[in-house]
Amino acid sequence: MIRYKLNCKNCEISFDSWFASSKEYEKLKKKSLLNCHVCNSRQVEKSLMAPKLINKPISKSFDNENLKFKKITNKIKEYQKFIKNNFEFVGKNFAYEARSIHYNAPLVAATPAARQDSSSRAGFNKIAAGTPAAGNPISWDSGSPI
């Protein structure tokens, strides 16, 4: 949206009007759809306008908000550093490794054969990879219990 100060040449009144864009103003002017709201004259012209610049000093509330943002950012960086220094990245097999730790099972490579062996240790029946069980194929991505 753009605001123009318009002048009526007939009654010499000045008024403001809003337009979607400068092209929209030109289109309405070309079609003679602009008129004065006082005398209804179509002799309306755009006057010279200076851009409206806001020249205020930065408020203290902005400084306070900026300070709060910096404090939060620094706290997040501290948390990231703490996590990086005190925790181990376990990779994509987090669920498998967490179950292994929970059941006190030794960490074994996360392959279908290894899962099959570990499931037999936990008292589950051995099932060949891909053999349907109860009508459903085995999906190793679903994470069978160890």
Q: What is the mean pLDDT of the chain?
A: 74
**Which pLDDT score is estimated for 74?**
94
Mean pLDDT over 101-125 rounds to: 56
> What is each CA distance from 40 to 19, 37, 43, 89, in whole angstroms?
19, 5, 9, 75
* 119: enclosing H helix or E strand: helix 112-121
**Which pLDDT score is estimated for 111?**
53
Asked whether residue 108 is domain-assigned, the answer is yes
Domain with 9 in it: 2-46
Asked whether residue 82 is domain-assigned, the answer is no
**Which pLDDT score is estimated for 106?**
62
Asked whether residue 10 is domain-assigned, the answer is yes
136 has a pLDDT exceeding 70: no
Provide the domain count of the chain. Answer: 2
Q: What is the pLDDT of residues 29-85, one digit of tens each?
A: 899 888 988 898 888 888 877 666 666 666 666 677 788 899 999 999 999 999 989
**Which pLDDT score is estimated for 61?**
64
Asked whether residue 63 is domain-assigned, the answer is no
**Which pLDDT score is estimated for 104?**
80
User: Which of 28, 46, 64 is the last residue before a domain boundary?
Assistant: 46
Q: How far is CA 135 from the centre of its chain?
A: 43
Mean pLDDT over 14-26 rounds to: 87
HEC profile for 25-89?
HHHHHHCCCCCCCCCCCCCEEECCCCCCCCCCCCCHHHHHHHHHHHHHHHHHHHHHHHHHHHCCC
Asked whether residue 72 is domain-assigned, the answer is no
**Which pLDDT score is estimated for 89?**
77
Asked whether residue 70 is domain-assigned, the answer is no
The token pair that represents 28 in the structure block = 């309405």
